[in-house]
Structure 1
């Protein structure tokens, strides 16, 4: 409970900073892991004797495992406790990072990076958002805390190509995973200052069947998207199977609720219109961020022949944009309504995508990417924090485990879909035309997110 006492109008006290530092750093390293491999495509494919599509599959599986297990991970926090889940996730992630660093082939890399790091992330990320919501109770302090966490998450995703590129060029792509393992050690040490504000309930039942159904449905959906390029009929079959499994999951949840048993995910979470619209905006934001990251990184390396560090340097523009706007989250939250910030973020991001299409087509130089990436970074940084705050603040403390798992699952599903959709279009034909089609598809997603944001209530701030 130290975090509650440490809040103040003038800024976070030292105790609050000690609590917030490991939480923000945890979000940073998970976002970093989702994007830093984008600049290692050529290096990994050559070293492990695989293809660009093989590396894309590894990246997508990592994001997919996170999305599929995030809801069960959020639910487990009630049974195991939030801090215990956080530490367990960090340790599993660290083992996966070390295994990836010594991987002799693509299969071991997928086991370490895609599976173990994905499982670890699914366990550690829900506690980050639950603890933040529970420890920072008023709107200003919560906006400040979420602003720091989302800033680190956005910077991790945007700076991943730069940091990964520098490490890859200076040492090896394997050293990037050693870097992740070292950061995990730091987070574990810093997390000693965190006290769980709610006691765990070991007797609380866990819906195993629901967990299997939800994970299987999400896996089938994204796998179907990945299969579009290879076999259209297989892709259609997988997509239909995924939809049927998810329908079965919701039927199972309703049946458990009617019988008075606790389900993996309460249907009450979907009865709040504001939360539902906020979840749509979160999915669209991360889909665009990871989709743009993979598309631009793959195009620069495979089509234009840039190395890892050159590709990473170009992404510095996006990193600066996200950092600048995310760090201003607290001030923006006081001056503008959440709906206004989210809508503005989508508009700026769409302008950035348009700039990437127009300038890249007219200018052969690498710096033609900079204005668009800067605008995308600014736009995403503006809306990441209010979208999370809108969703988390719609529910009481007793439902924070469920909504945190659902929120992070929706966001990570957006990340995996961004890599899958844009990557599938790009890998299908690494040409100038394929790049434009991929970016146009991401723009359509942005328009959908903008529409959802426009439908949010016009109230100044979300319920606390």
Structure 2
């Protein structure tokens, strides 16, 4: 792909797609009380409205990245936009929670084609290391900003037009992105296409779906019930089988050898941890502000504005820090911010001062804004350009898996003991999850140092050499 065309326009188009994908994760959170009232949804169904989207995206992201590398990135990018827009229409006209959950899954099929393909386009356009780091910072910032600003946008739409407007908004934006991509993004693909791995894809979906179902439905069906125990057993068996099976394929969907590189593996782990904290943070706080504090959707969204502004401002700063000083500083600082936000939320009750909430949201937003760029850069920079789609897909999968698990775990904790309605004592029930958030931030800080030392650099070189000597897949 030529870098002499319109790289800035291409970056804008790719960021626009990422903003859409992230917006439909976070904006829906603020609409959950309205969806519950309008469609008579249970707490577990509210979790599934969020997680049916993130779960399907997580399951198909790797396939989406590999398909774009093989069949053409612009082509798959356009197909993803069309499917995403069509799924949005189905969401807007859903008459029941079950139909909405299914429509969200359709949306997710399109979203799975946007995340990895957009990033592989960015990494192909911006080949100079510093320029690539800055571009990835902006790209990651678009996703982070969409997650952070989603409650504000969603709150305004829900208060003014109803929860359906969140999905209607996607349709013209998808149309604009399709037109811009066809005009400005040249087609590109890898010289060597990857074969479809049906078995690996099914194993990944079974693993993620059974694990998520067990966590979400555990408090409803009983943690020791046959269905829930069976889900966890199937998930454990699937995780073992997928590693065994993929390690024996010549062209695996999820290559376990990637994780021989400590920077790459730790970046994926950090993505899961950070986005689990953020997914649960948004899910519980939007419910708390409306169900416990009685705020309107718009006011609830505005209460989360400190997080949104902090995240949006810190994301490009993080990208510049990565370009200038490497990933350790912004990633470790981001972990500290998230941990501090979790500590501040430990004291939240039914009558907590709004200034205290605002401070907690601000600090957490600073942390979240700093972690995105170093995670993405670490996952992609150590990989050759021909593997950009697959590497970015795995990193993005970590984000989506983390979000799905965060929503599932936070709901399992906060809704424990209730199956029909959101608990009145949500504030006190959620406190154990804020301990989890604090520990997530501490873990990210510790992993930042582990991923950026001399040992980690040696593992990255050793992993690359092993690929070149045994398979030739990464050879120049």
- Could you state the TM-score of these two structures normalised by the residue count of structure 1? 0.92
Deviation at residue 263 of structure 1 after TM alignment: 2.0
Partner of 2:472: none
Show the counterpart of 1:102.
93
| Shift, 1:361, TM fit | 4.2
Describe how 1:286-297 pairs up with structure 2 within 5 A. Answer: 286-297=275-286
Distance change >3 Å, CA 375–CA 148, structure 1 → 2: same
In the TM superposition, 1:282-431 aligns within 5 A as 282-358=271-347, 360-361=348-349, 364-428=352-416, 430=423, 431=425
Say if 1:445 and 1:329 are closer, same or farther in 2 by CA, change over 3 A.
Answer: closer
Please say if residues 133 and 319 of structure 2, whose CA atoms lie closer than 8 Å, have aligned partners that are also in contact: yes
Q: Deviations over 1:189-238 (max 9, x none)?
A: 22121113335767x52111111111111111111111221220233321
Per-residue deviation, 1:445? 2.3
Matched, 1:238 2:231: yes
Partners of 2:43 and 2:294 lie apart in 1 by 13
Per the alignment, in what secondary structure is the counterpart of residue 383 of structure 2? coil
1:434 aligns with 2:429: yes
Deviates more, 1:83-92 or 1:52-61: 52-61
- Give the corresponding residue for 2:257: 268
- In structure 2, what is the Cα distance between the partners aligned to 1:340 and 1:357? 26
Cα deviations across residues 270-298 of structure 1 (Å, max 9, x unaligned)?
21111111111111111111111111111
Per-residue deviation, 1:362: 9.4
Task: Summarize the alignment of residues 205-284 of structure 1 with structure 2, pairs less than 5 Å apart.
Answer: 205-230=195-220, 231-233=222-224, 234-257=227-250, 262-284=251-273
Q: Aligned equivalents of 1:274 and 1:176: distance in 2?
A: 37
Q: Secondary structure at the match of 1:50?
A: coil
The worse-fitting range, judged by mean Cα deviation, of 405-414 and 443-452 is 443-452
CA deviation after TM superposition for structure 1 residue 171, in Å: 1.1
Give the Cα–Cα distance (whole angstroms) in 1 for the partners of residues 333 and 171 of structure 2: 37
**Pair 1:168-2:163 in alignment:** no
Q: C-alpha separation between the residues in 1 aligned to 2:75 and 2:191? A: 9
Query: Where in structure 2 are there 5+ consecutive unaligned residues?
Result: 418-422, 465-476
Distance 2:87 2:436 in 1: 33
Structure 2 residue 449 is matched with structure 1 residue 446: no
| 1:83 corresponds to | 74
2:190 and 2:445 map into 1 onto residues whose CA distance is 39
Contact 2:337–2:366 under 8 Å retained in 1: yes
Q: For the residues of structure 2 that align with 1:207 and 1:56, how far apart are their CA atoms?
A: 30
| Structure 1 residue corresponding to 2:450, chosen from 442, 451, 455 | 455
Per-residue deviation, residues 170-199 of structure 1 (Å, max 9, x unmatched):
111111111122221121122121113335
Which SS does the other structure have where 1:173 is aligned? coil
Name 1:184's counterpart in structure 2.
174
Q: Secondary structure at the match of 2:41?
A: coil
Residue 159, structure 1, aligned to residue 154, structure 2: no
Alpha-carbon offset, residue 157 of structure 1? 0.5
Aligned to 1:11: none
Aligned equivalents of 2:246, 2:147: Cα separation in 1: 34
What is the match of residue 102 of structure 2? 111
Mind listing any 5+ residue stretches in structure 1 that lack a counterpart?
Answer: 7-14
- Of the three residues 34, 37, 41, the one matched with 1:43 is 34
Aligned to 1:33: 24
Q: TM-score by structure 2 length?
A: 0.89
Q: What RMSD, in angstroms, separates the aligned Cα atoms of the two structures?
A: 2.1
Measured in 2, the distance between the counterparts of 1:310 and 1:52 equals 22
* Residues 318 and 330 in structure 2, CA contact (< 8 A), matched pair in contact too: no
Instruction: Tell me what 1:5 maps to.
Output: 4
Q: Could you report, residue by residue, the CA deviation over 1:233-253 in whole angstroms, capped at 9, with x for unpaired residues?
A: 233321221110121112111
